[in-house]
Amino acid sequence: MTEIIDTLREPWTFEFMQRALIVAVIIGVVSAVVGSFVILKGMAFIGDALPHASFGGVAIAFVIGANLQLGAAVAAILVALAIGFIGKRGTVRYDTAIGIMFIAGFALGILIVSREEGYVVDLFSFVFGNVLSVSWTDVWITAGLGAFVLTIVALFYKELLFTAYDPSMAAASGLPVNAAQYGLLILIAITVVLALQVMGIVLVLAMLVAPPATAQLLTRRLPAMMGLGAVFGVLAAVSGLYVAWYADVSASASIVLTATAMFALAFLFSPSTGLLRKTQWAQDIPTDGAMQEPSSGAAGDR
Amino acid sequence: MSSEPTQPPAVDVSHLRAGYNGQPVLDDVTFTVEKGCLAGLVGPNGSGKSTLIRVIMGLMKPWSGGVEVSGTAVKAGRTSIGYAPQSELVDWSFPVTVQDVVLMGRYGKIGLIRRPGPEDRDIALRSLERVGLAEFSQRRVGELSGGQQRRVLIARALAQEADLILLDEPLAGLDAAAQHDLLRLLEDLRKEERTLFVATHDLSCVASDFDHAVLLNKRVVAFGRPKDVFTADLLSETFERHLLVLPGGERTLVGP
């Protein structure tokens, strides 16, 4: 018994692993909440484009000696706003606009890096992620920005929900649809930049997509989807770090593969939509929802 | 139809021109819909029905001309216009319950940041009772049948406490029984002094059950009582092909 406990505790006796755990857990939660909107609105391509495009900002920050994280943030937010603006103009398709920004930002990064031989190690930690090297400053920044993102989602949940679900009706009702849409893009950009240091450019998308997609298979309402997605995000972060510690493999890759494994399980075994349960469950549905407390419906709403 | 001389019409469209990217869709559209009537908007595909609805909702700026609803010019943010969009335009896979969707009808009145309160829930529940879906309030909206989903959208418009409700193709894709039930609901709502303006392809239904019809094909070909405007000539002009009108005692049938 104590052996098991020792095995479970061992990684966290090291301070760099404690920092990694805190940062990975925060990112698991924030990515799942923001990622719920990403997958419901089919914005996964944006989730992939922003980290790539932000590489340009990282490279510029590197050259002028500014904070790399800040460079990534500025680039990601600018690109997010540009995507929103081009998309709203309607002259080119949304995914075309994303594709152009995606490549331009990333190519700019490569161009700059190709001139800076010798010091590219720092930059490549952005590409593949390096959760084991985060500093306490990184931890505080992640916690602060993560709390900011979650607070904004909580405060403007109603506006974000209505705009995501039915933008025309939301606009007709007088809701600030433009602000909500641009706001969501900025929230995605901030989340992407937070996740960048842990996951790396190539794997950020996994944290935005896999945990909420897993939760979507198991829940029926958006708040539950966000909550359960956050739980899955945290589980993936913790178990991924264990795998990384004991198998001596990449932390970000372990976290991503854990999250994908969870999705695969839910896809196969979800009680309502699972591949292996579908026929069996279909007969139970008609009596299910209608019977449960029709009068006190307001209880669980947020 | 109650049309007192002092009361402005529910919808008053005058010399409206509108379109996209320089291409006119609506040209010199003029008509009125009186308060408390069930009005049909009919016309072929591409005749501008959805565009007209968007302009009335305040979602699209007209090039010229004007739209007044109950005597005041429209702009986005008017919560007194209810809207049930075409069913195909609604994301039914979205993880929201029936109650969530109906509560959205309250969002415009609640104001930024604030959450729906007990009163909003109460109104939402009563709107659901009104369309006969109270027992489904906690179901995921995608689990309902097509006819029930149309009712959810109507309940959302009711939760807005809207006097004017615009419905875009509410009858499309429903079986005969569901169409009948939905029409009965629309007639009941009209009796409560609400105005319903319904874009539809179901001419026979407008002919037999509606008070008022607007024939649209980029411009208004005619508007008035269905029995007056559903003539072979006017319908052929609207649909640019010959349509057969069979005036029966109780029902008028219209077909190709």
B68 with B103, same domain: the answer is: no
Tell me how close the Cα of B136 comes to any Cα of chain A, in angstroms: 6
By the 8 A CB rule, do A206 and A32 touch?
A: no
Q: What is the mean pLDDT of residues B98-103?
A: 96
**A173 with B79: Cβ contact below 8 A:** yes
Closest chain B CA to residue A216: B95
Tens of pLDDT, residues A182-221: 999 999 999 999 998 888 888 899 999 999 999 999 999 9
Report the distance separating Cα A161 and Cα A151, nearest Å.
15
Residue-level pLDDT at B71:
84
Residue-level pLDDT at A299:
37
Of B133, B162, B191, which residue sits at a domain end? B162
B67 with B129, same domain: the answer is: no
| Interface mutation vs chain B, best among A89, A158, A214, A270, most B CBs within 10 Å | A158
By the 8 A CB rule, do B134 and A294 touch?
A: yes
Structure tokens at B27: 């040209």
Examine residue B87 and state whether it is found in any structural domain, yes or no.
no
B187 with B144, same domain: the answer is: no
**A216 with B104: Cβ contact below 8 A:** no
| Structural domain boundaries enclosing A46 | 21-205
Residue-level pLDDT at A95:
86
- From the CA atom positions of chain A, what is the Rg in Å? 21
Examine residue B85 and state whether it is found in any structural domain, yes or no.
no
Tell me how close the Cα of A105 comes to any Cα of chain B, in angstroms: 31
**Total domain count, chain A:** 1
Q: In chain A, which stretches have pLDDT less than 50?
A: 280-302
Phi first, then psi, for residue B22 (nearest 5°) are: 80, -10
B168 with B155, same domain: the answer is: no
Q: Assign residue A125 the CATH number of its domain.
A: 1.10.3470.10
| Interface mutation vs chain A, best among B110, B122, B137, most A CBs within 10 Å | B137
Phi first, then psi, for residue B68 (nearest 5°) are: -120, 135
Matching residue, tokens 């006969």? B132
* Residue of higher predicted confidence among A300 and B96: B96
Examine residue B86 and state whether it is found in any structural domain, yes or no.
no
DSSP string, chain B: ----TTSPPSEEEEEEEEEETTEEEEEEEEEEE-TT-EEEEE--TTSSHHHHHHHHHTSS--SEEEEEETTEE--TT-TTEEEE--GGGS-TTSS-BHHHHHHHHHHHHH-SSPPP-HHHHHHHHHHHHHTT-GGGTTSBGGGS-HHHHHHHHHHHHHHTT-SEEEEESTTTT--HHHHHHHHHHHHHHHHTT-EEEEE-S-HHHHHHH-SEEEEEESEEEEEE-HHHH--HHHHHHHHTS--EEEE-SS-EEEE-
Q: Are strands B11-20 and B23-33 parallel, antiparallel or unpaired?
A: antiparallel
B42 with B151, same domain: the answer is: no
Give first-to-last CA distance, chain B, whole Å. Answer: 30
Residue-level pLDDT at A259:
95
**B138 with A156: Cβ contact below 8 A:** no
Give how far the C-alpha of residue A171 lies from the chain's centroid of Cα atoms, to the nearest Å. Answer: 27
What amino acid is encoded at B29 in this protein? V
Given a cut of 70, whether residue B250 has pLDDT beyond it is no
| Structural domain boundaries enclosing B169 | 1-80+164-256
Matching residue, tokens 């049309």? B3
Residue-level pLDDT at A302:
35
Of the partner residues B77, B138, B140, the one whose CB lies closest to the CB of residue A297: B138
B160 touches chain A (CB under 8 A): yes
Structure tokens at B237: 């002009």
**A175 with B107: Cβ contact below 8 A:** yes
B149 with B25, same domain: the answer is: no
Closest chain B CA to residue A288: B139
Of B131, B162, B193, which residue sits at a domain end? B162
Residues with Cβ within 8 Å of residue A134, at least 6 apart in sequence = A16, A19, A20, A23, A142, A197, A198
**B221-228 long-range CB contacts below 8 Å, 24 or more apart?**
B223/B31, B223/B32, B226/B40, B226/B252, B227/B252
B65 with B169, same domain: the answer is: yes
Examine residue A200 and state whether it is found in any structural domain, yes or no.
yes
Examine residue B138 and state whether it is found in any structural domain, yes or no.
yes
B144 touches chain A (CB under 8 A): no
Report the distance separating Cα B120 and Cα B208, nearest Å.
36
DSSP string, B84-120: E--GGGS-TTSS-BHHHHHHHHHHHHH-SSPPP-HHH
**Total domain count, chain B:** 2
Tens of pLDDT, residues B158-205: 999 988 999 999 998 888 899 999 999 999 999 988 999 999 988 888
| Chains A, B: CB pairs < 8 Å | 113
B209 with B221, same domain: the answer is: yes
Tell me how close the Cα of A61 comes to any Cα of chain B, in angstroms: 36
B59 touches chain A (CB under 8 A): yes
Three-state SS at A249: coil
Examine residue A70 and state whether it is found in any structural domain, yes or no.
yes
Of B140, B162, B184, which residue sits at a domain end? B162
B185 with B68, same domain: the answer is: yes
Given a cut of 60, whether residue B249 has pLDDT beyond it is no
Tell me how close the Cα of A286 comes to any Cα of chain B, in angstroms: 9
Residue-level pLDDT at A301:
38
Residue-level pLDDT at A283:
45
Examine residue A83 and state whether it is found in any structural domain, yes or no.
yes
B34 with B54, same domain: the answer is: yes
Phi first, then psi, for residue A50 (nearest 5°) are: -60, -50
B76 with B176, same domain: the answer is: yes
Could you tell me the pLDDT band of residue B19, with boundaries at 50, 70 and 90? Answer: very high
Closest chain A CA to residue B123: A298
Examine residue A131 and state whether it is found in any structural domain, yes or no.
yes
Of the partner residues A176, A225, A294, the one whose CB lies closest to the CB of residue B134: A294
Examine residue A62 and state whether it is found in any structural domain, yes or no.
yes
Given a cut of 90, whether residue B148 has pLDDT beyond it is yes
A293 touches chain B (CB under 8 A): yes
Tell me how close the Cα of B180 comes to any Cα of chain A, in angstroms: 23
Tens of pLDDT, residues B204-246: 889 888 999 999 999 999 999 998 998 888 888 898 877 766 6
**A289 with B81: Cβ contact below 8 A:** no
Q: Assign residue B76 the CATH number of its domain.
A: 3.40.50.300
Residues with Cβ within 8 Å of residue A93, at least 6 apart in sequence = none
Of the partner residues A173, A216, A221, the one whose CB lies closest to the CB of residue B107: A173
Q: What is the mean pLDDT of residues B23-35?
A: 93
Residue-level pLDDT at A119:
59
| Cβ-based burial of B86 (10 A; exposed 0-12, middle 13-18, buried ≥19) | middle
Closest chain B CA to residue A40: B94
B169 with B76, same domain: the answer is: yes
